[in-house]
Amino acid sequence: MAEADPQKTFNVHDAKTNLSKLMDRAHAGEEIVLAKAGVPYAKIVPFDPPAPKPRRKPGGWPQLRDIPDSVWLDPMPEDELELWEGKRLEKYGL
């Protein structure tokens, strides 16, 4: 592991005492290394907010454009309709 910059390395006790100042330094672009017993343990880095999501565009579901109108407009066959309405369940033992 590479040696941490002593100017940017703080033991836990010092970090707790100066957390607000360390956060300001990190916000300004520095990477602050937190050490435990002198060994680098964690890092405080500037926060990069996620990019904003693009606005949703209506009609973005192109799969529905390719479905023929007959699926939506043609009447259901009588035998299938009876199954949906539960009129022929005895045929299937239900």
Domains annotated for the chain, with CATH where assigned, are 6-44 (3.40.1620.10), 62-92 (no CATH)
Tokens 């680098």 locate to 40
SS (H, E, C) 74-86: CCCCHHHHHHHCC
Number of helical H runs and strand E runs in the chain? 4, 3
Pairwise CA distance, residues 3 & 25, whole Å: 20
pLDDT band (50, 70, 90) for residue 1: very low
Residue 32 token pair: 């602050």
pLDDT-derived band of residue 5, with 50, 70 and 90 as boundaries?
low
2 has pLDDT over 60: no
pTM of the entire structure?
0.49
Give the whole-angstrom CA distance, residue 8 versus residue 30: 8
Give the tens place of pLDDT for each residue, 23-74: 999 999 999 999 999 899 999 999 988 899 988 877 767 666 677 777 777 7
